[in-house]
Amino acid sequence: MRSNLKEFFFLICAGLILASLPLFWANQHPIEVSLPQVSQADVEAQKERQQKEAVAAAARDRVRRVAACEADEDCIIVDKDPCGCLIGPQGVTAINALHTLEFNKMQSQVIAKTCPDTEPSTEKECSETAQAVCSNGFCKIVY
């Protein structure tokens, strides 16, 4: 009796498997796959964006390294614009004195320009009381 029940169970399973095979072989509802169209121009534009991002990230790292400090004595005020305080407080910045050469190399890419014929600014970062200090690990100007 047990073997008959077992054979009957296997027979039912085999029948179900055979009955479901046409469902797997049917092509009535094929799976559609759509891939985005990517042109060579898109690939080139993506490469260019990645290169620009890499250059910008490297520049940010250099700026962080140049401005990094541990103590107030590490920091100095330098001209970040060829005209310095002649154009106002935005013409100066604070950097780590040990990285002055690297900062100058970064600034050598600045194109020479004509400075205004005015007196140097005496506000904020250009005031006589302005000094470079180390704040949160980076040099900054306080006034």
pLDDT score recorded for residue 1: 61
Tokens representing 50?
A: 């990645």
Q: Measuring CA to CA, how many Å separate 44 from each of 16, 41, 55?
A: 54, 5, 16
pLDDT in tens, 11-35: 888 888 888 777 776 666 677 888 8
Q: How far apart are CA 55 and CA 42, in angstroms?
A: 20
What percentage of the chain exceeds 90 in pLDDT?
Answer: 34
Q: How far apart are CA 112 and CA 73, in angstroms?
A: 31
Under a CB-based contact definition with an 8 Å cutoff, are residues 70 and 51 in contact? Answer: no
pLDDT band at 57 (very low <50, low <70, confident <90, very high): very high
pLDDT in tens, 73-117: 999 999 888 888 888 888 889 999 999 888 888 877 666 677 877
